[in-house]
Structure 1
Amino acid sequence: MIKFLNGSKRAGLFRKEHMLSTVVTWTSAVGPEEDFEQFREGFIAWMQKHGSSATNLLLVFMVHDSGQQAIFTFFSRALGDTQVAANLGKVRISLQFPSMSQAVAEQTKAQILTKDF
């Protein structure tokens, strides 16, 4: 399940920056492939709506340690999708793993940032 939260802030006198927070919660009913498609639709629509003022993407993965492979699958699909990958390169990405143990969360983040999965 994917939940999107939009936000914005002033970045000067005439400019705004937009942020998209995406909370990804995996359940046994919906797999990472379906969640990726939902993310793709929402992320691309957000980028098209805000253009160059779309600056920050926060990805929060609500999954325990055993779901680490689902996160890697999600990012493999994101990097393999040319439209998503091109747009990911235009924003600052922050990753959070609040339901994982600290060690696994750090390892997961490191593997994603180095694309080693």
Structure 2
Amino acid sequence: ALNTLSGGERQRVKLAISMAKKGAVYVLDEPTTGLHLADVDNLLALLDRLVDAGNSVIVIEHHQAVMAHADWIIDLGPGAGHDGGRVVFEGTPSDLVTARSTLTGEHLADYVGRPRH
């Protein structure tokens, strides 16, 4: 019975039921925090399965592996805090790497091994 589960266990059951549905929107804030690199790969595979099942996944993330794996990036900047808050790039990760028009683009290009021109 559900009343025998802890609050956290009930939340996980609700999340699992929700993840089985089609057409949901998931918003994740820094889901890689504290994860081992192998677990980041597992997370990316899970996110791919969610998208393949007809769901939308929005991830707020600084992890370069997640950014490189994304379908679309919206980069806010040009800096952090009071120096940010404007859309400075919108497009595919490869377009961001090619443009190198933002600090994120520079770091992502270095991550994927794209040399500077």
TM-score (structure 2 length as normaliser)? 0.38
Higher relative contact order (CA 8 A, sep 6+): 1
- Asked which structure has the greater CA Rg, the reply is 2
TM-score (structure 1 length as normaliser)? 0.38
